[in-house]
């Protein structure tokens, strides 16, 4: 019943119980589990909110790493936010060629 209420499978409920979903009465040996739907729903919302926050933090970290890799600051990153992967690769290749030419001219050293 709780699986239907939360619109998930029975296997998902079993997994969530192992992950700490609140249970009123343990089941087993022919006895059913007892749940408080309100507690289970609140647990799920809290779990989903934590997952969204973790994903947002990971996205921010990935964005910062990408900016560091491309040697950009916030302003440059905002200006090039809509670039495709191909455009980024072309930009990186052009920068590499520029740096190599500057090295050959003696403007840069290894």
13 pLDDT more than 90: yes
Give the pLDDT score at 52.
Answer: 95
Asked which of 18-27, 62-71, 73-82 is least confident by mean pLDDT, the reply is: 73-82
Q: For residue 17, with 0-12 CB atoms within 10 Å meaning exposed, 13-18 middle and 19 or more buried, which class applies?
A: middle
Q: For residue 30, with 0-12 CB atoms within 10 Å meaning exposed, 13-18 middle and 19 or more buried, which class applies?
A: exposed
Comparing 20 with 63, the larger pLDDT belongs to 20
Q: What percent of the chain has pLDDT over 90?
A: 47
> Model confidence at 79, in pLDDT bands (50, 70, 90)?
low
């Amino acid at each position: 019943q709780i699986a239907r209420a939360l619109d998930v499978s029975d296997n998902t409920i079993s997994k969530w119980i192992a992950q700490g979903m609140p249970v009123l009465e343990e089941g087993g040996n022919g006895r059913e589990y007892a749940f408080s739907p309100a507690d289970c729903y609140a647990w799920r919302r809290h779990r989903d909110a934590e997952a969204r926050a973790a994903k947002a933090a990971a996205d921010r970290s990935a964005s910062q790493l990408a900016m560091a890799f491309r040697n950009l600051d916030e302003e440059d990153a905002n200006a090039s936010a809509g670039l495709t992967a191909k455009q980024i690769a072309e930009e990186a290749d052009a920068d590499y060629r520029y740096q190599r030419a500057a090295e050959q001219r003696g403007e840069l050293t290894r």
